[in-house]
Amino acid sequence: MATKFDPTLTTTSGNPGQDVLRAAGERLIEALPYGMKAKGHGGQGGAAATPWIQVFEPTTGGSGTDGLYLAYIFAADLTSVALTLQQGVTIFSDQLQTRGSTLRTYLEFRAQSLLAEIPSDLVAGWTDQPSFKHSGWRARAYEASSVVARCYEIDQLPSEGDLCADLGNMATILKAALAVEPQIEVVSEPEGPVVEYTTPAHVTHEGLEGFQPKTSDDYFVQIAAREQRKKRVHEGLVQRFGPYIWKRGFTPITEQVHPRDLVLRAGDVEWLVEAKAVKNGNTTQAVREAVGQLLEYRYFWYLQKDQPKPHLLGLFSENIGAYASYLEAHGIGAIWRTSDGWAGSASAVEWGMADAH
C-alpha cells in the first residue's frame, strides 16, 4: 500500500493506493484473528494524510470515531506504519469542543489510565510511541490516543508470520483494554489550590456487605503549586480481587479494618492482606513495602491485642517472579493479577485462592 498510495490524488481519481485500502477487509481476512474485521480508510474526497487500516471486533464497537480498536496507521511520508491500540478521537474532540492541545492531553491521560489497568506482562514490548510526521490535528490526536503500539519501517517489515503473531497479541491486548475501559474516568483539573482530596466513593457488591472498597477513579492533588495526577490502581486492585476471592469461598472485608487494606475470612481462619500496585516494574519496592506492613499490622493488630495470629497474604497488580518464593520463606503467601485472571504462590494455591500452574 505504501508504494501505491498517492496523497496528492483524490479518493476517486485512479489512486491505486485507495483501491488497496478499499480491499483491505477481503485481502486481510485470512490473517485476522477470529471474529475480527478490517476496513481501510484513505480519506473522504481528498486523500488522507495518514492512511490507515482499522482492525476491530464488530460486537464491541470501535467505529474509528468512538470506542477502542486496532489500527495500522501509516506515517505521512509512508516510510513507516504503526500497529496501535487506538481510542476513537472524534467523539472526544466533539465532547471537548477542541482539536488542539487540550484534546491531546486528555487522550494521553486516558491512554495512560488504560495502560495502567492492563496487566504489564501482556503489554511488555508494546511501548513504541508512534510518530505520524504530520501537523494535522487528526494525526497528532492519533499519536496522543495510542495506548500501546509497535512501529515498523516499511523497508524492514517482519515476516508475514511475525506480523500475524503481532496482530494476534494485539487482539488479546484489545480484549483486556475493553474489559477495563468502563472503569476509566479522566476527571477535569480542579480549580484553585487543592490540599486534600475528598473521601472517595465506595463500590458495593451484592452479597458482600462488608466489602466496600474505594473506587479506582483518578484524583488530583496539589503539592507545592505543582499539580500531579495520581491513579488509584491500588483501590482498583482490591476492588477486582474481592468478588474473585468471594467466589472461591472467602469473605473479603474492608469495612472497619483500616489501616489494613483487606481481611479475608473462611470459618474461624483469618488472612491479613496487603495490596500493592507494582509501579514502573519495581517489584522489589512493592514486595518490601508489603512485607513491612504485613509484619507491622500483624504485631499491633493481632499479637498486641492477644488475637489469633492471621495468615499473611501479599496481593500484587502483576507477577512478582522470584519474590513469590522469597515471601513463602517468610511465611507470607502471594497472589497477583495475570492477563486472564489470578495466579499465586504455593501457599495461595494450598489455601484455595489460586489454581496450580
| Mean pLDDT within 136-148 | 94
State the pLDDT at residue 290. 94
User: Are 26 and 172 in the same domain?
Assistant: yes
| Nearest CA among 34, 51, 33 for reference residue 42 | 51
User: Are 142 and 232 in the same domain?
Assistant: no
User: Are 169 and 226 in the same domain?
Assistant: no
- Final residue before a domain boundary, out of 183, 208, 240: 183
User: Are 156 and 298 in the same domain?
Assistant: no
Q: Residue 52 corresponds to which cell in the numbers above?
A: 490507515
61: left (phi over 0), alpha (psi -120 to 50) or beta: left
User: Are 143 and 257 in the same domain?
Assistant: no
User: Are 162 and 258 in the same domain?
Assistant: no
- For 34-48, 206-220, 269-283, which range has the lowest pLDDT when averaged over its residues? 206-220
CB 356 within 8 A of CB 345: no
- Final residue before a domain boundary, out of 167, 183, 199: 183
State the pLDDT at residue 195. 29
For residue 299, give the DSSP letter: I
User: Are 165 and 250 in the same domain?
Assistant: no
Q: What is the β-pairing status of strands 226-230 and 251-253? A: unpaired
User: Are 68 and 174 in the same domain?
Assistant: yes
| Mean pLDDT within 308-332 | 95
User: Are 248 and 336 in the same domain?
Assistant: yes
| Alpha carbon distance 94, 208 (integer Å) | 40
Question: What pLDDT, in 10s, does the model give residues 264-303?
Answer: 999 999 999 999 988 767 889 999 999 999 999 999 999 9
In a domain, 248, yes or no: yes
**Overall domain count for the chain:** 2
- Final residue before a domain boundary, out of 183, 208, 231: 183
SS (H, E, C) 210-240: CCCCECCCCEEEEECCEEEEECCHHHHHHHH
User: Are 53 and 172 in the same domain?
Assistant: yes
Q: What domain range includes position 250?
A: 219-351
Q: What does 123-189 look like in DSSP terms, one character per residue?
A: HTT-B--------SHHHHHHHHH-SSEEEEEGGG---HHHHHHHHHHHHHHHHHHHHHGGG---PPP
What is the model's pTM? 0.53
User: Are 91 and 229 in the same domain?
Assistant: no
Question: What pLDDT, in 10s, does the model give residues 56-104?
Answer: 888 766 666 778 999 999 999 999 999 999 998 998 899 888 999 889 9
In a domain, 243, yes or no: yes
CATH number at residue 82: 3.30.920.90
Q: Which residue has the higher pLDDT, 2 or 235?
A: 235
Enumerate residues 6+ apart whose C-beta is below 8 A from 252: 208, 210, 211, 241, 242, 245, 246, 262, 263, 264
